[in-house]
């Protein structure tokens, strides 16, 4: 009975493929300011920097390209 007490946070058919931003985008944009104004452990800094680097050319990221119009 308790397993049905709370609904799932998202609908089962939630599709995040059209998300406008991801955590990496947010960390790249605001990470340096956040690090300057908040106390963070070394581990927290490393994780934030790793997430910011994810899906970029720094880690060998790739660019998707539309076969029809060439949009990247």
Distance, in Å, from the CA atom of 72 to the CA atom of 66, rounded to the nearest integer, reads 6
Distance, in Å, from the CA atom of 72 to the CA atom of 65, rounded to the nearest integer, reads 4
What beta strand segments (E) does 1-72 contain?
none
Tokens matching residue 67: 């076969």
Ranges of each domain in the chain: 18-59
Say whether pTM exceeds 0.85: no
- Kindly state the DSSP code that residue 56 receives in the 8-state scheme: S
Q: What is the pLDDT of residues 12-65, one digit of tens each?
A: 555 555 567 788 889 999 999 999 999 999 999 999 999 888 776 666 666 677
- Kindly state the DSSP code that residue 40 receives in the 8-state scheme: -
- How many residues appear in the chain? 72
């Amino acid at each position: 009975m308790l397993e049905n007490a709370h609904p799932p946070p998202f609908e089962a058919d939630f599709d995040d493929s059209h998300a406008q931003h991801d955590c990496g985008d947010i960390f790249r944009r605001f990470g340096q300011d956040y690090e300057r104004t908040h106390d963070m452990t070394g581990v927290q800094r490393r994780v934030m920097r790793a997430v910011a680097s994810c899906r970029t050319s720094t880690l060998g990221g790739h660019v998707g390209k539309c076969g029809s119009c060439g949009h990247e």
